[in-house]
């Protein structure tokens, strides 16, 4: 048993010595190969290595430039996407698809008035720069009509009572001045409807809901 172990130990030591000898021989051979090169050959070898290094540096610089270009494009793309989202929000708010808040006025209408009188009042609001309008919580959008005779008004299938509120977002000063000026719409409606009372109150914050009307076109299709 001991004799077998000794043989294995000797064999293992011999194997390790053989590996070390081979490695040493290869190392010497490589050194000898370089040592046998002429000065001209060594100069050419160094020049080739320098050329390869320059090419690698150029590739690194090119990749870094591509990375910077992609990062810039991504940043610009995100900025453009953000701008498009802002534009979409403004368009949807203007169209009545989004609830909006801002400074504006509250108009309390009490007494007898017909649908045409209310429509004239709404037209004056829009002409004065109102950006969003609602009557008793109903958003006024293109196609919305206040209709009916005195005492039976309705808007978007919602009945209006003898007293109702109109809210509008816009400059409180401009809207108030346009409605209450001498010979303005309120003065005109006072003449046409003697029992009518209209009061205008400027507000710092006016909340107007989104429309419940489906604004998708029925017959029209986008033309690209």
Residue 137 in any domain: the answer is: yes
Q: What is the CATH number of the domain that holds 134?
A: 3.30.70.1880
What is the three-class DSSP state of 127? helix
Residue 82 in any domain: the answer is: no
Nearest residue to 185 (alpha-carbon basis) of 105, 107, 123: 123
Residue 111 in any domain: the answer is: yes
What is the three-class DSSP state of 144? coil
Domain range enclosing 12 = 2-36
Q: Which of 2-6, 54-58, 62-66, 140-144 has the lowest mean pLDDT?
A: 2-6
What average pLDDT does this structure show over 113-129? 94
What average pLDDT does this structure show over 148-159? 90
Q: How many domains does the chain have?
A: 2
Residues 29 and 120 in one domain: no
Residue 24 in any domain: the answer is: yes
What average pLDDT does this structure show over 169-180? 95
pLDDT at 155: 92
In terms of pTM, does the model score above 0.75? no
How far is CA 96 from each of CA 78, 146, 176, 182, 205, rounded to the nearest angstrom? 27, 17, 22, 31, 18
- In this predicted structure, the answer to whether residue 28 has a pLDDT above a threshold of 70 is no
Sheet of 158-159, strand order: 146-147, 154-155, 158-159
Residue 31 in any domain: the answer is: yes
Residue 9 in any domain: the answer is: yes
């Amino acid at each position: 048993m001991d004799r077998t172990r000794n043989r294995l130990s000797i064999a293992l030591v011999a194997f390790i010595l053989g590996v070390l000898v081979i490695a040493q021989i290869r190392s010497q051979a490589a050194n000898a190969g370089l040592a046998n090169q002429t000065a001209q050959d060594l100069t050419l070898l160094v020049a080739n290595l320098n050329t390869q290094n320059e090419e690698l540096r150029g590739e690194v610089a090119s990749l870094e430039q591509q990375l910077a270009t992609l990062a810039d494009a991504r940043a610009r793309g995100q900025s453009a996407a953000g701008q498009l989202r802002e534009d979409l929000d403004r368009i949807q708010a203007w169209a009545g698809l989004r609830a909006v808040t801002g400074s504006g006025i509250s108009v309390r209408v009490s007494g007898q008035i017909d649908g045409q009188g209310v429509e004239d009042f709404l037209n004056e609001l829009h002409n004065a720069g109102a950006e969003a309008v609602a009557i008793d919580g109903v958003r006024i959008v293109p196609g919305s009509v206040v209709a009916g005779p005195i005492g039976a008004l309705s808007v978007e299938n919602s009945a209006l009572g003898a007293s109702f509120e109109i809210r509008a977002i816009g400059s409180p000063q401009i809207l108030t001045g346009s409605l209450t000026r001498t010979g303005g719409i309120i003065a005109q409606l006072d003449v046409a409807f003697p029992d009518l009372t209209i009061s205008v109150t400027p507000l710092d914050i006016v909340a107007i809901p989104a429309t419940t009307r489906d604004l998708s076109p029925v017959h029209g299709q986008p033309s690209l």
